[in-house]
């Protein structure tokens, strides 16, 4: 993935994960409370009395029939009043429960009972036609008992219907309870998993990058301490060696004028002079490493140093069969010391050419990239030197910026260490990506600057 888009995708993934987590939590909560409300509504709408209507009906029928029978044998105002009271109570009870929230079979049976009661009440009302009623005829009494028996039978049917309805209600309640129990378990698991997912996303989005930056800072501090200690040592050694080398080189130069041309002694003198010059170069590198000068920065275009290097390297690279390609994808302003930045880029291009040897490609590329810097996102200019050489081994990659570490037979191991220190003094960083057998990419990252550029 393009490193420019990495923070955006990371933020989008974090927000998307958080959105899924919130949606899952809301779903789990709604499912759980929906089940609770269903059980609560069922408990509110159904009472235990709704499953005992048959018992109540039978009791009221028998009490009314007793009052009617007593009044038919011995009429009196008190018995008449009791009979009328029981009759009205039964009528109201039937009317009240006819549309009660019960099962359809129960409502049908109550409707039939209300119809039979109307016939019974009309038949029993014969006893109220006169103030004094003689003992009821057998036919009247048989009809009354028949109507009562039919209503008692309806009460028995109602009892069976109530048992069936109660069993069905208990089964539905148990099913709803089991379903709610499963929903609660699923909801708990969803909440736990979403909490873990949010924690993991928080770790990936906040903690992990912070830990990575802390490790980077720690490595930089450790490297700076190591460089400081080695710098003091290098300065002392360079000082002690430089003066004797200067004296030796001066004596050799004087001696050259006394030696015959093409003599063996002159050849030895030239060889020793060249070796002394090489030692002086090493001493100069030591001094540059131990006492790096402060950069004299100006604002310039990021691609300008590459344009300056092109004329310098193209002839030699063409001779070695190495193509030099430019890819200036962006050309932002940067603040840098032109001489020091040029020194770093020369080192990188030379390393790329040595890695290729012959017949390859070196790409000089500039672009921009968004990165977090000082707790905020900032724009960086990226200056890349990409080669198609043999790459760097994993073992060498671990020590690539260590001072005095080199894979070259005649190298001092200070080139990349000095380059890294120079870029760090510019407020940037020097990074690399390398795959053995496929090549290496070195990247200089410098903050993008606003303002007018300095002409060079």
Task: Give pLDDT tens digits for 391-442.
Answer: 989 888 888 877 777 777 666 677 888 888 889 888 898 999 999 989 999 9
* Strand 376-387 versus strand 360-373 pairing type: antiparallel
C-alpha 442/C-alpha 306 separation (Å) is: 14
C-alpha 381/C-alpha 375 separation (Å) is: 18
Q: Dihedral, CA atoms, 228, 415, 422, 402, nearest 10 degrees?
A: -40
**Is 135 exposed, middle or buried, given 0-12, 13-18 or 19+ CB atoms closer than 10 A?**
exposed
Q: Beta-carbon neighbour count of residue 331 at 10 Å? A: 16
Kindly indicate the confidence band of residue 264, based on its pLDDT and cuts at 50, 70 and 90: confident
Task: Name the DSSP letter for residue 448.
Answer: B
- State residue 265's pLDDT score: 86
* Strand 322-328 versus strand 360-373 pairing type: parallel
Q: Which domains does the chain have, with CATH numbers?
A: 1-219 (1.20.120.1730), 220-289 (1.10.287), 294-447 (3.30.565.10)
Task: Give pLDDT tens digits for 214-240.
Answer: 776 676 666 666 666 656 666 666 667
C-alpha 360/C-alpha 318 separation (Å) is: 10
Average pLDDT of the residues of the chain = 76
- State residue 216's pLDDT score: 63
Q: Is the pLDDT of residue 358 over 60?
A: yes
Helix or strand or coil: residue 372?
strand
Q: Is the pLDDT of residue 341 over 90?
A: yes
- Percent of the chain whose pLDDT exceeds 70: 69
Task: Give pLDDT tens digits for 406-420.
Answer: 777 666 677 888 888
- Percent of the chain whose pLDDT exceeds 90: 18
């Amino acid at each position: 993935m393009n490193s420019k888009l990495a923070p955006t995708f990371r933020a989008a993934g974090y927000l998307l994960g958080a959105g899924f987590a919130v949606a899952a939590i809301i779903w789990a909560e709604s499912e759980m409370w929906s089940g609770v409300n269903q059980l609560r509504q069922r408990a509110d709408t159904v009472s235990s009395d709704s499953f005992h209507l048959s018992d109540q009906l039978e009791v009221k029928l028998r009490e009314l029939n007793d009052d009617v029978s007593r009044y038919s044998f011995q009429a009196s105002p008190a018995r008449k009043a009791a009979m009328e009271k029981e009759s009205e109570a039964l009528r109201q009870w039937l009317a009240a429960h006819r549309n009660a929230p019960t099962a359809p079979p129960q409502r049908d049976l109550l409707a039939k009972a209300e119809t039979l009661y109307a016939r019974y009440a009309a038949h029993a009302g014969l006893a109220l036609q006169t103030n004094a009623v003689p003992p009821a005829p057998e036919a009247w009494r048989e009809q009354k008992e028949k109507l009562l028996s039919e209503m008692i039978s309806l009460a028995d049917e109602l009892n069976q219907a109530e048992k069936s309805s109660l069993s069905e209600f208990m089964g539905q309640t148990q099913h709803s309870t089991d379903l709610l129990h499963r929903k609660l378990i699923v909801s708990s698991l969803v909440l736990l998993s979403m909490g873990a997912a949010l924690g993991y996303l928080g770790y990936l989005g906040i903690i992990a990058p912070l830990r990575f930056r802390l490790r980077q800072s720690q490595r930089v501090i450790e490297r700076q301490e190591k460089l400081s200690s080695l710098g003091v040592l290098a300065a002392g050694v360079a000082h002690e060696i430089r003066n004797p080398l200067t004296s030796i080189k001066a004596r050799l130069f004087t001696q050259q004028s006394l030696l015959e041309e093409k003599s063996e002694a002159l050849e030895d003198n030239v060889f020793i002079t060249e070796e002394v010059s090489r030692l002086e170069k090493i001493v100069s590198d030591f001094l540059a490493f131990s006492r790096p000068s402060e950069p004299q920065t100006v604002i310039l275009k990021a691609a300008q140093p590459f344009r300056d290097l092109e004329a310098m390297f193209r002839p030699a690279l063409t001779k070695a069969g190495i193509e030099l390609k430019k890819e200036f994808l962006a050309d932002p302003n940067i603040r840098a010391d032109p001489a020091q930045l040029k020194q770093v880029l020369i080192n990188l291009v030379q390393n790329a050419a040595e890695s290729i040897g012959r017949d390859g490609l070196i790409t000089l590329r500039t672009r921009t990239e968004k990165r977090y810097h000082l707790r905020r996102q900032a724009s960086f200019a990226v200056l890349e030197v990409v080669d198609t050489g043999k790459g760097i081994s994993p073992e060498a990659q671990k020590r690539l910026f260590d001072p005095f570490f080199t894979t070259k037979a005649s190298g001092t191991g200070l080139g990349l260490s000095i380059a890294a220190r120079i870029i760090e003094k510019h407020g940037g960083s020097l990074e690399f990506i390398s795959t053995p057998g496929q090549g290496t990419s070195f990247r200089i990252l410098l903050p993008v600057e606003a303002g007018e550029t300095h002409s060079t």
